[in-house]
Amino acid sequence: MRTILLEIFIALAAVAGFGAGYLLLGRTVGTVDYYAADISTLGPGPENDLIRYGRELIVDTPRYIGKGAEDPAMAFAGNDLACQSCHLKAGLQPFAAPFVSTAATFPMMVNNKVITLPERINGCMELGMNGHALPEDSREMEALIAYIKFVGKDTPEGVRLPGMGLMPIALPAAVPDSRRGAEVYTQHCASCHGADGQGQRKASPEVGYSIPPLWGDGSFNGGAGMGQIAYAASYIRPNMPPGSHYQAPALTVQEAWDVAAYMNSKPHPLAPPEKVEVPAAAAADGASGGEASPN
């Protein structure tokens, strides 16, 4: 038990370290509301078209680059999740690994290695999306970066704004327990994600999910941030079930840890060798997908 608690503490310290200082939400700096980027304000033109395509890739990922992509040659992802499955509201929901400060804080030093933004995006592709990397010179990579820069417009360089990453979560009073987590899941999660955890597919002919799967072949692989209990708990508590808010979570701290343990006790695809989402990547910008992706 001491070993389990120590592992939790180490992982939690990483989450708290990257989350510290981001607890004030809805802050307006000058005249800029950093969580209200409105793509409808963009006029015509190739640069704005690229931004719009980037948002489409975030919201409707499986249509363009998912396992069920319209063009099979573009099936870079190994599942039909959307980036928005973890990066909620097209990457604009605080503490759901939003994109608002992402462009301003990359390149980032992680474990004595410089990580670029394209590398971070491809980390999501390989782990949260259980696929393979987008070419860095592809229009899709350019579009994703253009959108991320758009939602972070005027963000001070090197500054991570309130609400970025994941919300720090306290240590659980008891070791996370998947059996208790199963009860939490039945009460709070199964109505959307299903008793089998497989979510809800969109109506044909659309591809992808209206509610994403949480385990199984169609979910994130074991290397994703969401595959680590500390990151999953930090993501779940302020965001799930829908309607939760960081100031009024529906789940207790213990419930968030327990349901994260339950979710991650289920089978997931294997991560590629030596590909595991590191704390800075998972806690700082998510999904994903963690952006604990969420990724």
What domains lie within the chain, and their CATH numbers?
2-27+38-285 (1.10.760.10)
Contact yes or no for 77/66 (Cβ under 8 A): yes
Q: What whole-number percentage of the chain has pLDDT above 90?
A: 72
Please write the tens of the pLDDT for every residue from 15-36: 443 333 333 344 444 445 778 8
Contact yes or no for 215/263 (Cβ under 8 A): yes
* Strand, helix or coil for residue 172: coil
pTM of the model: 0.84
Reply yes or no on whether the pLDDT at 10 is more than 60. Answer: no
Among 292, 295, 293, 249, smallest CA distance to 19 is for: 292
Q: How confident is the model at residue 109 (pLDDT cuts 50, 70, 90)?
A: confident
Residue 276: per-residue pLDDT: 58
Please write the tens of the pLDDT for every residue from 73-105: 999 999 999 999 999 999 999 999 999 999 999
Beta-bridged to residue 33, according to DSSP, are: 28
Among 80, 78, 79, 98, smallest CA distance to 88 is for: 98
Reply yes or no on whether the pLDDT at 11 is more than 90. Answer: no
